[in-house]
A and B are shown apart, each in its own frame.
Chain A
């Protein structure tokens, strides 16, 4: 009996002493997309770093926000904050869903991305050729994309028509089926389109070029500047300054390691988006919160 009690006591203490610090990894997006795969990859990486990880993926931003309200304030939680997911509650049209914003205190990493133009058998020429008329497939929100197409039409004297699809996958299908002539999609989707035989060529930004040599602004004859930049942040809530600092360093190391799960999830090479490791935390906070604000404004404008 004494031996059993000793053994149980040893097991109890050993599991508590040797177990790493517990962190929750919360995916705020759907259970079948990019954010889900990145969250699971981070979970696996954190486990190898010695943390005890609980992965939670409630299925959407609203449920994730509700879950976050129940987490004790002493429990560190690693969470993805993307412009699309948070723009909806930030627009004020969705109650009891957030928004969740990042701050200098908790932001661990962030990336900047923007949209690109792709076509199945055309070139950039028709998009800006005086008098031309093409169908351009876009995703939501219409309030963001319609003014852009209107400006291209006005400044280049074109007669383009915008077709709005339900999601990025639907927009890709529309281009591949020949239903539209051009589509405007984010970096991740342009890779998939290129694998399916399409050509992508210009970046829809007025800031940093990520993948192609030209921006839409350089091709367009107009003076209006187009920018579709959006950012995603990863924050560690309920943690002290030291722990946040450790996470920033660890994530940077994970990105330098070609065998880390997060690098594999991002394509097994240099990440396709701009992470700006040398940029200040303040700048990266501005990317994320700024793009949530921009896209929220667009959603509200569409009402």
Chain B
């Protein structure tokens, strides 16, 4: 019974976290903290897996329809959603991404359970060269993004790196653009940066092209399961790449979706296939991201680190000798969540489609104001409401200037900057020093 309650709680929390931008897994776990204290350790993990997977499911609906990324993993869906609206393929995208996510999760869970004991060897993927190659592969792909000129991509990548490197690094002997302000010592917060430099330019672009957008109301049709087979190759590619990308520390499923999306853009150049692949990938990545924690006790994202801290208050320690029962329960939970995910995502899409009957300018203005309020609220959770607002307001003019570009390379580099530099530094110590 507790197992079912844990799954249901994860589904409810994950639905809200997926719908509300910025309220990702970490904030959700913080909110659920008092409830987690009443659960036994395995059900805490089950609840977390359910939450994590559900955010991916639900997050893709507002990302595709309204252009609001629930999480960093939805960025490709936001960019492609705009094109798909113009092509009047948004309903297909919503249907196929949900089916793709289900397929991806089933495959990943199946292979993980069959692979069972072999999973012990996942530690090898954490060798620095493997991680470095993965990160820089995506970076190179971004350099040749078709939507922007190569010179513009170089500018966006460099600017993303500069923003991401703000703060104090290493042994505190490298201070970068902090101007002695303690708020900047730990870097720029992610939410106001994404809002000002990714969401804002995209909203402006959407409003400008709103006359070309015709939305056919989303209808729930079982025939989608048959027509989905036209895109199965993209979905399978997304599953494999998403599974690998999920192991990337710090970025996990966000990296999965980028890896699959960029690969698909090269292979097919098709918006629908790209978004199916990236959304399948982030669901596959959501499961692989938790494997290092379950098998080796290593958290690779902030939400997992918080989960581990909670589990430790319950005297629980992950062990390589008895990870299989946890893995099996998590796998069952994931499958249940994926089935319920479709049952929630499709009706949700049906209702969200109605929003497009409103005045587009007004819709996006209200939406943006809500996001600004949310920005302040998220800031207050970290005692930095004013700082979050200052960052947002300072970057909005730049976002306005970048409205004609696809700013995804900037955001990606902002997020990975410190990690990628650290990888290079470790490689230097290992092989060149």
Contact = CB atoms under 8 A, between A and B. Distances in A.
Interface of A: 31-34, 36-37, 40-41, 44, 56, 58-60, 62-63, 66-67, 88, 91, 93-97, 135, 140-143, 161-166, 169-170, 172-174, 176-179, 191-192, 195-197, 261, 264-265, 267-268, 299, 302-303
A37 B124 contact: no
A93 B173 contact: yes
A10 to B, nearest CB: 29
Contacts of A60: 185-186
B313 A96 contact: no
A195 B297 contact: yes
Given A88-B172, A176-B298, A177-B125, A37 B186 contact: no
A33 B33 CA distance: 14
Nearest to A65: B182
Nearest to A87: B172
Interface in B375-433: 382-384, 422, 425-426, 429-430, 433
Contacts of A299: 171-172
Contact of A302 (B173, B249, B422): B173
Interface in B27-46: 30, 33, 37
Contacts of B123: 173, 176-178, 196
Interface stretch (B11-19, B316-324, B361-369): B316-324
B172 A94 contact: yes
16 contacts: A31-B26, A33-B305, A37-B313, A58-B382, A63-B383, A94-B185, A97-B182, A142-B170, A142-B171, A161-B433, A169-B300, A173-B123, A173-B298, A196-B320, A264-B315, A303-B172
Interface string B145-176: 00000000000000000000000101111000
A164 B429 contact: yes
Nearest to B128: A179
Interface of B: 26, 30, 33, 37, 123-128, 168, 170-173, 180, 182, 185-186, 249, 292, 296-300, 302, 305-306, 309-310, 312-315, 317-320, 382-384, 422, 425-426, 429-430, 433
B320 A195 contact: yes
Task: For the complex of A and B, list the 3 residue pairs with the smallest distance between their C-beta atoms, beginning with the closest.
Answer: A268-B315, A32-B305, A176-B123
B127 A178 contact: yes
Contacts of B314: 264
Nearest to B297: A192
In this complex, the member of B124, B318, B429 whose beta carbon has the largest number of chain A beta carbons within 10 angstroms is B429
Contacts of A174: 126, 128
Nearest to B305: A32
Given A164-B429, A265-B313, A59 B299 contact: no
Given A163-B429, A264-B315, A176 B302 contact: no
A97 B184 CA distance: 12
A165 B168 CA distance: 16
Nearest to A302: B171
B320 A179 contact: no
B384 A191 contact: no
Contact of A165 (B312, B318, B426): B426
Contact of A195 (B168, B317, B430): B317
Contact of A36 (B168, B170, B309, B320): B309
A40 B173 contact: no
A58 B126 CA distance: 31
Nearest to A298: B171
A261 B312 CA distance: 11
Contacts of B313: 37, 40-41, 261, 264-265
A97 B108 CA distance: 46
A95 B180 contact: yes
A176 B296 contact: yes
B124 A178 contact: yes
B383 A34 contact: no
Given A93-B173, A94-B168, A177-B124, A66 B182 contact: yes
A70 to B, nearest CB: 10
A178 B296 CA distance: 14
A41 B311 CA distance: 12
